[in-house]
């Protein structure tokens, strides 16, 4: 039994000296440039012939185009992104999926792999069984197939690596903290699978055998997870949360280094701010040494 | 309660975790999450406190006012609770959406403080049968991350501890009484909250029970028992919530756990509050800029 109460004023905050000052950081209303030769991009507006930022973020310049990339945002999908989402509605031939974007995403019945075969016609029978395959509240991993005109996403799970997710836990972080990588599915050597969704949803679960990969997750395993695995999942989850709290980019190496730095603390101590800061500092130093 | 949707597999994972005494974030069944507390955050109140328990954020303001004593308790002051659910916390609270939850919390707080040993209401009486202090406690939910009852009771206790009531001098003069307010703004009396209760919610998940359930865990729990526990382990109020049912023996277990956890919760809270009081001078405000 532990109760840990602190005063807000005594809690360790981010050390300012460890953060490089960003020169191109703007807040809403800031003048980016008064030069009229530039083109207006996302996150900016024109007033009195000057470019102003409309969001808080980092200015990016591509030739004559000025954009501001917001630091905290909803997810703006791009084709090919890997996302983790939650089914919120079962509709006519489609599922509505929450992916932390501005509008709900859709997963069409025609863009999922159904159990039992590759080239299968998705018949009326399947339409009636939709809730049997995926029901409200279920979590899926998917890829963005296309982006509609209004910015909403169409997803697909037509590969065996995508599909319904089983036992594990979901962590929500800001989408801008996920580093874009070739792969977002990582089987970490500590026996944990991490799916870093581009939309900021991070799924952590114990690595399973090949059996579940072949069914697309439709056959779920409700057997209790052994305690040792559970502890590692909790630790990785706390690492993900601490990285996000300290605004560090999330990718396989950063998570692994944080995990290794955290091993000297019990899992539940990782929720204390001073332990978080120490672990993150260690991981940050190691990342800088590696030059990544 | 504010619910999140979970898949069956996630629920199974959480339920088995509670049985293993190892929860999603590595806590055991009887562990609280990290709590941050700050008092006297709102200068226009008599006392205030802000608390952050993981994602739950609650602001409490206390205002004291002179009022008429009630006819049934002519020698006592009163305490009144009001809870407001901000729509910033979740869109469900918009309009009248948060009213049910707000009423539940304020009723529970009122019941918890209804015990004569919690807070000495006689000290709030100014002129017997005529004037007394009425303590208005306003609770504002700013963010929801589970354990709203526990967090609000802790914040209320901290805010009451922080409350200062102006000292009044009563002079009886030929039948009518006169009240005189002290000129010195620091000439105040404090409330004695050493025996005020904190609410401990025990949520039944699977066959075991956990304290300080997160939002995900609340979604897996069918029944919960709320206990208002004082520093000495006295239970001043008890409430059962949810559609599930309890075994008699499990209620006894929960009472034992609740008392134990409640006592240590009260103890650490008082330690923190007393230490903040001591370091009053060199304090700087954290506020909302984290």
To the nearest whole Å, the CA of B85 is away from the closest chain A CA by 23
First to last CA, chain B: 27
- In the three-class reduction of DSSP (H, G, I as helix; E, B as strand; rest coil), residue B248 is classed as helix
* CA dihedral sign, ordered A21, A25, A28, A34: positive
pLDDT digits (tens, 9 = 90+) for B230-266: 988 889 999 998 888 888 888 998 999 999 999 999 9
> pLDDT tier at A81 (50, 70, 90 boundaries)?
very high
B228, B197 Cβ separation under 8 angstroms: yes
Q: Over range A79-90, report the average pLDDT.
A: 92
Q: Do B9 and A168 touch (CB under 8 A)?
A: yes
Sheet containing strand A31-33, edge to edge, reads A31-33, A50-53, A44-47
A8 — contact with chain B (CB < 8 Å)? yes
Regions of chain B with pLDDT less than 70:
1-3, 280-290
Enumerate the residues of chain A whose CB falls inside 8 A of the CB of residue B16: 224-225
Q: What does the pLDDT read at residue A238?
A: 92
Q: Lowest-confidence range among A14-18, A285-289, B96-100?
A: A14-18
In the 3-class helix/strand/coil scheme, how is chain A assigned residue by residue? CECCEEEHHHCCCCCHHHCCCCCCEECCCCEEECCCCCEECCCEEEECCEEEECCCEEEEEECCEEEEEECCCCECCCCCCEEEEEEEEECCCEEEEECCECCCEEEEEEEECCCCCCCCCCCHHHHHCHHHHCCCCCEEEEEEEEECCCCCEEEEECCCCCEECCCCEEEECCHHHECCCCCCEEEECCCEEEEECCCCEEEEEECCCHHHHHHCCCCCCCCCCCHHHHHHHHHHHHHHHHHHHCCCCECHHHHHHHHHHHCCCCHHHHHCHHHHHHHHHHHHHHHHHHCC
First to last CA, chain A: 40
In a domain, B287, yes or no: no
Res A101 pLDDT > 60: yes
Instruction: Decide which of A131 and A9 is more confident.
Output: A131
Exposure letters B113-125 (e unless 16+ CB within 10 A, then b): bebeebbebeebb
Q: Do B5 and A86 touch (CB under 8 A)?
A: yes
Q: Rounded to whole angstroms, how far apart are CA atoms A61 and A65? A: 6
Q: Rounded to whole angstroms, how far apart are CA atoms A259 and A239? A: 6
Query: Can you read off the two tokens belonging to residue A11?
Result: 């809690």
Q: A9: buried, middle or exposed (CB in 10 Å: 19+, 13-18, 0-12)?
A: middle
To the nearest whole Å, the CA of B149 is away from the closest chain A CA by 16
In a domain, B1, yes or no: no
Cα nearest neighbour of A138 on chain B:
B7
The neighbour count for residue B82, using CB atoms within 10 Å, is 15
| DSSP string across B140-209 | EEEE--S-HHHHHHHHHHHHHHH-EEE-EEEEEETTEEEEEE-S-TT-EEE---TT--EEEEEEEETTEE
Task: Determine what percent of chain A is predicted with pLDDT higher than 70.
Answer: 89
Q: What does the pLDDT read at residue A216?
A: 59
Report the CATH number at residue B34.
Answer: 3.30.230.70
Mutate which: A4, A8, A276, vs B, most B CBs within 10 A: A8
Q: Are strands A169-172 and A201-206 parallel, antiparallel or unpaired?
A: antiparallel
Q: Do A165 and B9 touch (CB under 8 A)?
A: yes
Q: Do A167 and B13 touch (CB under 8 A)?
A: yes
To the nearest whole Å, the CA of A273 is away from the closest chain B CA by 8
Enumerate the residues of chain A whose CB falls inside 8 A of the CB of residue B207: none
Enumerate the residues of chain B whose CB falls inside 8 A of the CB of residue A231: 22, 26
Cα nearest neighbour of A272 on chain B:
B34
Q: Are strands A57-62 and A25-26 parallel, antiparallel or unpaired?
A: antiparallel
The neighbour count for residue B201, using CB atoms within 10 Å, is 26
Q: Rounded to whole angstroms, how far apart are CA atoms A77 and A71? A: 16
- In the three-class reduction of DSSP (H, G, I as helix; E, B as strand; rest coil), residue B54 is classed as coil
Q: What does the pLDDT read at residue B284?
A: 63
Tally of domains in chain B? 1
The alpha helices in B24-179, defined as continuous H runs, are 99-112, 148-162
CA distances from A183 to A81, A140, A192, A212, B7 (A): 10, 17, 16, 20, 25
Domain that holds residue B44: 8-280
In a domain, B177, yes or no: yes
B38, B286 Cβ separation under 8 angstroms: yes
Which residues, in sequence order, are CB contacts of A35 under 8 Å at separation 6+? Answer: A51
Cα nearest neighbour of A267 on chain B:
B26
Q: A51: buried, middle or exposed (CB in 10 Å: 19+, 13-18, 0-12)?
A: buried
Q: What does the pLDDT read at residue A107?
A: 93
To the nearest whole Å, the CA of B109 is away from the closest chain A CA by 21
For A9, the closest of B7, B30, B284 (CB atoms) is B284
Q: Which H or E element spans position B68?
A: strand B56-68
Q: What does the pLDDT read at residue A117?
A: 60
Which residues, in sequence order, are CB contacts of B267 under 8 Å at separation 6+? Answer: B231
For A5, the closest of B22, B25, B35 (CB atoms) is B35
Angle between helices A227-245 and A273-290 (to 10 degrees): 80
A16 — contact with chain B (CB < 8 Å)? no
Question: Domains of chain A: which residue ranges?
Answer: 26-70
- Would you state the torsion angle of the CA atoms of residues B219, B220, B221, B222, taken in this order, to the nearest 10 degrees? 100
Q: What does the pLDDT read at residue B288?
A: 66
Q: What does the pLDDT read at residue A47?
A: 87
Angle between helices A252-262 and A227-245 (to 10 degrees): 110
Enumerate the residues of chain B whose CB falls inside 8 A of the CB of residue A3: 31-32, 35, 261, 264-265, 268
- In the three-class reduction of DSSP (H, G, I as helix; E, B as strand; rest coil), residue B244 is classed as coil
Enumerate the residues of chain B whose CB falls inside 8 A of the CB of residue A271: 25-27, 33-34, 54
Q: Rounded to whole angstroms, how far apart are CA atoms B154 and B58? A: 10
Res A220 pLDDT > 80: no
In a domain, B105, yes or no: yes
Q: Rounded to whole angstroms, how far apart are CA atoms B159 and B48? A: 4
Q: What is the CATH number that goes with domain A26-70?
A: 2.40.50.100
ipTM above 0.90, yes or no: no
pLDDT digits (tens, 9 = 90+) for A18-51: 556 667 888 898 888 888 888 888 889 988 888 8
Q: Rounded to whole angstroms, how far apart are CA atoms A243 and A254? A: 8
Instruction: Decide which of A291 and A242 is more confident.
Output: A242
Res A13 pLDDT > 60: no
Enumerate the residues of chain A whose CB falls inside 8 A of the CB of residue B284: 9
In a domain, B3, yes or no: no
Q: Rounded to whole angstroms, how far apart are CA atoms B163 and B135? A: 9
pLDDT digits (tens, 9 = 90+) for A140-199: 999 999 999 998 999 998 888 888 888 889 999 999 889 888 999 999 898 899 999 999
């Amino acid at each position: 039994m532990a109760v840990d109460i602190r005063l807000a004023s005594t809690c360790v905050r981010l050390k300012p000296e460890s953060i490089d000052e960003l020169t191109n950081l703007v807040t809403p209303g800031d003048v980016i440039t008064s030069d009229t030769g530039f083109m207006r991009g996302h996150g900016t507006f024109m007033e009195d012939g000057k470019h102003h930022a409309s969001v808080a973020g980092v200015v990016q310049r591509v030739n004559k185009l000025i954009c501001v990339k917001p630091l905290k945002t909803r997810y703006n999908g791009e084709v090919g992104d890997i996302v983790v989402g939650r089914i919120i509605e079962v509709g006519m031939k489609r599922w509505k999926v929450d992916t932390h974007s501005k509008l709900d995403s859709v997963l069409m019945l025609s863009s999922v792999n159904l159990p039992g075969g590759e080239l299968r016609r998705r018949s009326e029978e399947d339409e009636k069984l939709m809730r049997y395959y995926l029901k409200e509240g279920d979590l899926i991993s998917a890829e963005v197939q296309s982006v509609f005109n209004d910015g909403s996403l169409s997803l697909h799970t037509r590969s065996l690596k995508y599909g319904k997710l089983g036992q594990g836990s979901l962590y929500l972080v800001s989408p801008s903290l996920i580093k874009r990588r070739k792969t977002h599915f990582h089987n970490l050597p500590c026996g944990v699978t991490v799916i870093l969704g581009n939309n900021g949803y991070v799924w952590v679960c114990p690595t399973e055998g090949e059996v579940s990969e072949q069914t697309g997750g439709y056959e779920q395993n409700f057997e209790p997870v052994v305690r040792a695995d559970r502890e590692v999942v909790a630790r990785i989850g706390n690492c993900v949360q601490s990285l996000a709290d300290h605004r560090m980019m999330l990718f396989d190496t950063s998570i692994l280094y944080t995990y290794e730095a955290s091993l000297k603390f019990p899992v539940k101590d990782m929720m204390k701010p001073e332990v978080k800061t120490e672990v993150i500092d260690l991981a940050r130093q190691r990342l800088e040494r590696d030059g990544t | 309660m504010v619910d999140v949707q979970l898949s069956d597999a996630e629920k199974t994972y959480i339920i088995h975790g509670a049985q293993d005494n190892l929860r999603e974030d590595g806590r055991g069944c009887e562990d609280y999450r990290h709590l941050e507390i700050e008092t006297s955050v709102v200068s226009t109140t008599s006392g205030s406190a802000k608390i952050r328990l993981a994602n739950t954020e609650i602001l409490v303001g206390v205002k004291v006012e002179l009022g008429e004593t009630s006819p049934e308790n002519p020698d006592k002051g009163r305490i009144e609770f009001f809870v407001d659910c901000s729509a910033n916390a979740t869109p469900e609270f918009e309009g009248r959406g948060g009213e049910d939850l707000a009423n539940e919390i304020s009723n529970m707080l009122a019941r918890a403080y209804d015990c004569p040993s919690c807070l000495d209401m006689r000290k709030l009486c100014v002129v017997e049968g005529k004037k007394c202090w009425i303590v208005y406690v306003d609770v504002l939910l700013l963010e929801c991350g589970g354990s709203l009852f526990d967090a609000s009771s802790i914040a209320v206790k901290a805010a009451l501890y922080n409350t200062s009531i102006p000292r009044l001098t009563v002079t009886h003069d030929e039948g009518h009484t006169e009240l005189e307010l002290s000129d010195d703004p620091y000439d105040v009396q404090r409330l004695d909250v050493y025996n005020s209760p904190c609410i401990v919610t025990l949520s039944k998940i699977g066959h075991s029970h956990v304290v300080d359930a997160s939002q995900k865990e609340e979604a897996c729990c069918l029944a919960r028992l709320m206990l208002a526990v004082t520093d000495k382990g006295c239970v001043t109020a008890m409430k059962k919530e949810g559609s599930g049912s309890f075994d008699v023996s499990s209620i006894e277990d929960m009472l034992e756990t609740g008392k134990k956890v409640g006592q240590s919760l009260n103890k650490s809270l008082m330690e923190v509050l007393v230490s903040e009081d001591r370091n009053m001078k060199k304090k700087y405000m954290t506020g909302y800029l984290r």
